[in-house]
Amino acid sequence: MDRQGMHQDLEKVLISQEEINQAVVRMGRQITRDYAGKRPVFVCILKGAVMFFTDLLRQIDLPLTTDFMAISSYGSSTKTSGVVRILKDLDHDVLGKDVLVVEDIVDSGLTLSYIKKVLGERGARSVRLVTLLDKPQRRRVELKVDYACFEIPNEFVVGYGLDYQEEYRNLPYVGVLHPRFYEDEEAAETP
Ligand code: IMP
Ligand code: MG
């Protein structure tokens, strides 16, 4: 399928730049209050959370540090298989630290539940989960998401960091990709 340009490939805009902005400011204030007196570590899950991470951190008034982790979940580009592998690990120790893991979207919940388990095993004092988007209908494991900007329906979204086959991350808003882009993939998976 030929791409006609990013904006034309979308079925609709789901969350505008303005709405993202307001939600990020609100969440930044909330986390600043909740972590008053602490020195938390913010972990960005590469690459999808990059835009959200950098915008959110600029709204937080705390002596925080940052670290980065890259995860690969096996499966097709629109569905997770549940198998998670660390491609790039943290640079710093989390022992005794208050950690906030920042993700772009929680879908099945498998990625974050795995990361939360690993960081707990490494002796983090606390691990909380922060996400831009939450698709609660798709959950396959029980998972407490501590901070979510938006709950969204079960649709495949792109933009503001989220990709389809590594593209569309640079859209400044979140939109629903036209299903014509992955219909072939869905058909291929139907038994
Ligand atoms: P989970 O382990 O199923 O919760 O998967 C989370 C990961 O799947 C996210 O970090 C995204 O990379 C990817 N993902 C899930 N839903 C979407 C979507 O609608 N658009 C883009 N990526 C998605
Ligand atoms: Mg992705």
Atom number in ligand 1 closest to CA 73:
2
Write the pLDDT tens digit of every residue in 25-47.
999 999 999 999 999 999 999 99
Q: Which of 102, 107, 133 to mutate to test the pocket of ligand 1 (most atoms within 8 A of CB)?
A: 107
d(CA 156, CA 63): 36
d(CA 14, CA 121): 37
Atom number in ligand 1 closest to CA 110:
2
Q: What angle separates helix 17-34 from helix 50-57, to the nearest 10 degrees? A: 60
Q: Which of 24-28, 127-131, 144-148, 185-189 has the lowest mean pLDDT?
A: 185-189
SS3 label, residue 86: strand
**Stretch 170-190: mean pLDDT, rounded?**
79
The amino acid occupying position 106 is V
Q: How far is the CA of 74 from the centre of ligand 1 (A)?
A: 11
Q: Write the DSSP symbol of residue 40.
A: -
- Tokens encoding 166: 């590594």
For residues 174 and 158, is the Cβ–Cβ distance under 8 A?
yes
Residue nearest to atom 9 of ligand 1 (CA): 105
For residues 106 and 138, is the Cβ–Cβ distance under 8 A?
no
Atom number in ligand 1 closest to CA 162:
21
Catalytic annotation, pick one of 61, 107, 134, 146? 107
For residues 110 and 93, is the Cβ–Cβ distance under 8 A?
no
Ligand nearest to the CA of 181: 1
pLDDT band per the 50, 70, 90 thresholds, residue 191? very low
55 flagged as catalytic: no
Ligand nearest to the CA of 162: 1
Q: What is the pLDDT of residue 73?
A: 74
